[in-house]
Structure formats: structure tokens, C-alpha cells
């Protein structure tokens, strides 16, 4: 009978993914706001400085090169925070035993990985907007297409944050996680900010698998006076697919690191 003392109590249902993900996201966003605001300022200042430097060699006539510089510099803010800093964070979390703390909580592994990645990606929104507007004014680009940032930031942020989390979780030591994050950000800088037509052929091949390059191309197309919205949508679709794969990799890497 249900009331028998010897009968085991029914198990409570496990936590659902979405409420757990939301809780992790809010907690991480609060932590990131306090600890990373100076770094967001540095990332934004760095990207604006790159645009000012490139202005000396790129004409401000609204051409393809100017659009590539502005779009690449804007997405670079995402790479600095979502890829570089997240790789360092998870590398230190794994080395310091922080994953053991999360393992004791009734939170699915996917919620921790995805919620943290989403918080870091969301944190980049102000810096990306300031960089894009500043670049548009500096290079004389139309600003009417900047609404595409509402799609570029979450999609490119998901791809880069997932990649950064995976690098931090898979690196055997936190120092290697830091190096991997720095290398990833350098790749986003060199292959994203420089106009594709100016890159040598091998560098163009390396640019293809870079997740942020599709967000850069989508934003660059949106900065044209008469954008081809089909091209924008195609680049965003590829960015979304790469982002889903990167977040799946981060979830798997978190589960693997937590088990070991």
C-alpha cells in the first residue's frame, strides 16, 4: 500500500532544462556584469582603435573593404568576450574544482554550458552596438541595416561562446585554455577584420570554418546601401548551424569534464 513504511518514496522529477538554464543564465550574467565590465570596455576600445588604424589604409567611401573592417571589428568584441574570456573561465573552473560544485547542484550539464555561454554572449551587446555605430560614422556607411545586429550578436555569440567553452573544458591545463582562447581571438581578428579580398588563398581557406566569419559577412552585407537580404539570411543560417554545433560540443565537453 502507498502508506506502508517499507515502500520507497516516489522520486521527485528531475529539474527541467529550460528553468535550470534560465537560472544559470541569470546567475552568470550578474557575475559577468560585476567582474567583466572593465574588460568589455577594453574590447570595445580595442575594436574602435583597430578601425581608426585601418582608416589610414582603407578609403571611407562605403566600399567592400570599409564594410569588412567595420563588421569584423564589431564581431571582434564578441570574440574577445565570448571566446577568449569564456575559454579562460572554464579552464580555471575545471582546474580549481568548480565543476565539482556544479555537479552537486540539481542542474543538467547542458544548462550550465548553455547558460554560461549565453550570459557571456549577451554581455557583448553594448560593445558591439557602440563599435558598429562608431565604425559606420567613421567610414561613412549607412546605418539603416544595423538592426541585423539583433541576429548577428546572438548567433555569432553562440558559436564563439560554444567554441570558447569547449576549448576551456577540453584543455588539460588552464594555461593551455588561455592560449587557445588568445589564438581563437587572434584568428577572429586577422581573418575577420581584414577584407577577404586582401587575404592570401590559404588564409581564405582558414576563414571558411571560422564561426564568426559568417556573422561578419552578414553584417558587412547589411551595411551596403542596398543590401542583398538573401545573402544576409544565408550567412545567418550558416552561423546558426555552426552555433548549434559549437554549443553541442560545449555541452559534451562539460559532461566529459564533469565525469572526470
Distance between CA atoms of residues 80 and 219, nearest Å? 18
Tell whether 223 is covered by a domain. Answer: yes
Q: Tens-digit pLDDT profile for the chain (260 aa)?
A: 455 555 554 444 455 778 888 888 888 888 776 666 787 888 899 999 999 998 887 776 778 889 999 999 999 999 998 898 889 989 988 888 877 777 777 777 778 888 888 888 888 889 999 999 999 999 999 999 999 999 999 999 889 988 999 999 999 898 999 999 999 889 988 888 887 888 888 888 888 888 889 999 999 999 999 999 999 999 999 999 998 999 899 889 988 887 76
Tell whether 12 is covered by a domain. Answer: no
Tell whether 10 is covered by a domain. Answer: no
CA 169 to chain centre: 16
Which structural domain, as residue segments, surrounds residue 177? 17-26+34-259
Tell whether 168 is covered by a domain. Answer: yes
Tell whether 7 is covered by a domain. Answer: no
- The span from the first CA to the last CA of the chain, in angstroms, equals 42
**pTM beyond cutoff 0.75:** yes
Instruction: Looking at the chain, list the stretches that DSSP marks H as alpha helix, in order from N- to C-terminal side.
Output: 17-54, 64-78, 86-95, 98-103, 109-122, 125-139, 149-170, 174-193, 201-207, 211-222, 229-259
Q: Which string of DSSP letters, residue by residue, matches 15-41?
A: PPHHHHHHHHHHHHHHHHHHHHHHHHH
Tell whether 9 is covered by a domain. Answer: no
Tell whether 219 is covered by a domain. Answer: yes
Tell whether 2 is covered by a domain. Answer: no
The number of domains in the chain is: 1
Amino acid at each position: 500500500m502507498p502508506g506502508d513504511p517499507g515502500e520507497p518514496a516516489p522520486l521527485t522529477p528531475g529539474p527541467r532544462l529550460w528553468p535550470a538554464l534560465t537560472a544559470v543564465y541569470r546567475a552568470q550574467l550578474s557575475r559577468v556584469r560585476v567582474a567583466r565590465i572593465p574588460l568589455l570596455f577594453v574590447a570595445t576600445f580595442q575594436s574602435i582603435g583597430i578601425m581608426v588604424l585601418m582608416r589610414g589604409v582603407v578609403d571611407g567611401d562605403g566600399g567592400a573593404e570599409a564594410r569588412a573592417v567595420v563588421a569584423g571589428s564589431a564581431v571582434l568584441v564578441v570574440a574577445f568576450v565570448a571566446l577568449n574570456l569564456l575559454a579562460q573561465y572554464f579552464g580555471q573552473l575545471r582546474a580549481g574544482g568548480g565543476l565539482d560544485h556544479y555537479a552537486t547542484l540539481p542542474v543538467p550539464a547542458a544548462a550550465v554550458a548553455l547558460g554560461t555561454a549565453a550570459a557571456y554572449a549577451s554581455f557583448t551587446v553594448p560593445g558591439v552596438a557602440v563599435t558598429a555605430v562608431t565604425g559606420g560614422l567613421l567610414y561613412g556607411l549607412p546605418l539603416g541595416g544595423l538592426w541585423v545586429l539583433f541576429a548577428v550578436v546572438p548567433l555569432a555569440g553562440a558559436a564563439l561562446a560554444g567554441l570558447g567553452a569547449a576549448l576551456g573544458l577540453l584543455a588539460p591545463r588552464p594555461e593551455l585554455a588561455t592560449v587557445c582562447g588568445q589564438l581563437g581571438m587572434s584568428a577572429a581578428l586577422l581573418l575577420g577584420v581584414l577584407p577577404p579580398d586582401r587575404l592570401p588563398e590559404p588564409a581564405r581557406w582558414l576563414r571558411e570554418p571560422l564561426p564568426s566569419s559568417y556573422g561578419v559577412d552578414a553584417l558587412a552585407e547589411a551595411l551596403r546601401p542596398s543590401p542583398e537580404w538573401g545573402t544576409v539570411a544565408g550567412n545567418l543560417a550558416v552561423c546558426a548551424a555552426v552555433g548549434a554545433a559549437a554549443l553541442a560540443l560545449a555541452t559534451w565537453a562539460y559532461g566529459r569534464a564533469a565525469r572526470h
